[in-house]
Structure 1
Amino acid sequence: MKWLQKSLIIAVALLTFGVITPAHDIWSNFQEKSDSKHEEGSSNESDYQIGLADPHIEVVESIEDTFIDSAKTLAYEKFGTKIGPVISDEFDQVIFPKIDEAIRMTLNNDTENEYRRLSISERPGGNYSEKIFNVYDKDSQKDLIRFHVRTDKRPQDGYFFNFHYHVVEDGFNTHHTIGDIYWSKDTPPKWLS
């Protein structure tokens, strides 16, 4: 029962962006009502639990959606105003769905309790750095997955942006390719510009 209350509190906090806090009167009223329902008997209790099972699922989906939204925001922050408008269509249609899939796969491979400890890095790398963002464990401060974009110059073809990610399972050694986006034969601007 306690985990249901905590899940509901998390859901409200996420959905209201912290406007309604756990100290608000609504939580006191909720606590009184849940205590009185608990005392009434088991027939009402089972209906009550079934009704609250759905918000818990929504909390998990909300956490995933928050990660996805943050990932897209950080990618566009990295692209800056010079690269972003040029590659945005192809990025949104081809590259980002694969990033979304990799993030959801990483989040779904963790247990429920670890969701609260996972976070996404706040700043992409600039200049010529490959880093877009990392998903990491807040407690240990260790990365689980790192998303990168590398600028490749191919003779006679020009410049391409190679999107890929690395995972902790292989020590971040393997490039898991997401895809490439063509820039042009001209040197692209630095990231964040």
Structure 2
Amino acid sequence: MKKWLKQSLVFLVALITLGFIPPSHSIWEQLENGQDSNRTTSSDYNNIDVQEETVGEAPSEEGLAADDPIGSIIRLAHEQSYIKFGSKIGPVIEDEFEERIFPAMAQIIASKLDRLDDQAKQYLTITEKPGGNYSEKIFHIADGRTGKDLLRFHVRTEKRPQEGYYYNFHYHTYEDDYESHYTIGDIYYSKNTPPKWLS
């Protein structure tokens, strides 16, 4: 599929849904493989719903209602993560990220931000531009009134002798002035040097 057409479709989905529904990666795989994406049946949708609900650690779809500020932050966190990965790293780590890392991230976000009072939750913001090149920053969640970061989610590229490159997902919190690394998990990339973020 031509790149401009794919970008146009992503833009239209984002515009129509106001960015609340990220486009499914399976749609792009079907289009690139020449399969007819219009042949999706209602049972396919039921399977998708079941898979999302059985992740366990992540909040349920009911907990991510459109008027729920924490649910909105979690959706945006997912989107910002894939922007950071880019088209070169994303496909390599996508499965493990979806199975292990993002559900843990979502639970951390929900549990940490749930401690805030209702008024503070209404002013939550998330950074809109992940760090590129070799920067660790995926996204930061802040109090929009003060601009102070509450949570910082990062990914560090680590080269381990005889093993290769791993991505270490971790976060920092304002509670200890961002001093400690709280590890979420590692994903193996390859023995080859990984590309830069956003590429």
Fold conserved (TM > 0.5)?
A: yes
Partner residue in 1 for 2:169 = 163
Give the 3 Å change call, closer, same or farther, for CA 186–137 of structure 1 in structure 2: same
Partner residue in 1 for 2:14 = none
Give the 3 Å change call, closer, same or farther, for CA 69–127 of structure 1 in structure 2: same
| Percent of aligned positions that are identical | 53
Partner residue in 1 for 2:3 = none
- SS of the residue corresponding to residue 166 of structure 1 reads strand
Larger displacement relative to structure 2 (115-124 or 145-154):
115-124
- Select the residue among 122, 127, 139 that pairs with 1:121: 127
Quote the offset at 1:61 in angstroms. 6.4
- Select the residue among 77, 100, 106 that pairs with 2:106: 100
Greater fraction of residues in helix: 1
Q: Is the 8 A contact 2:156 2:167 kept in 1?
A: yes
Q: Is the 8 A contact 2:64 2:70 kept in 1?
A: no
Scaled by the length of structure 1, the TM-score of the pair is: 0.69
Quote the offset at 1:59 in angstroms. 6.3
CA-to-partner distance for each residue in 1:78-123, whole Å, 9 max, x for gaps? 0000000010000000000110011101220100110111111111
Q: Is the 8 A contact 2:165 2:188 kept in 1?
A: yes
RMSD: 1.7
Report whether the alignment pairs 1:176 with 2:176. Answer: no
Q: Which runs of 4+ in 1 moved over 6 A?
A: 57-61
Aligned partner letter, 2:172: H
Partner residue in 2 for 1:141 = 147
Quote the offset at 1:163 in angstroms. 0.1
Partner residue in 2 for 1:67 = 73
Gaps of 5+ in 2: 1-16, 19-62
Report whether the alignment pairs 1:76 with 2:82. Answer: yes
Equivalents in 2 of 1:61, 1:96: separation in Å?
A: 21
Give the 3 Å change call, closer, same or farther, for CA 104–61 of structure 1 in structure 2: farther
Equivalents in 1 of 2:68, 2:99: separation in Å?
A: 22
CA-to-partner distance for each residue in 1:112-163, whole Å, 9 max, x for gaps? 1101111111110000000000000111111000000000000000000000
Quote the offset at 1:62 in angstroms. 2.4
Larger Rg: 1
Quote the offset at 1:58 in angstroms. 8.0
CA-to-partner distance for each residue in 1:151-191, whole Å, 9 max, x for gaps? 00000000000000000010101000000000011000000
Gaps of 5+ in 1: 1-15, 18-56
- SS of the residue corresponding to residue 190 of structure 1 reads coil
Partner residue in 1 for 2:37 = none
Report whether the alignment pairs 1:111 with 2:117. Answer: yes
- SS of the residue corresponding to residue 120 of structure 2 reads helix
Give the 3 Å change call, closer, same or farther, for CA 59–186 of structure 1 in structure 2: closer
Aligned partner letter, 1:191: W
- SS of the residue corresponding to residue 78 of structure 1 reads helix
Equivalents in 1 of 2:140, 2:64: separation in Å?
A: 24
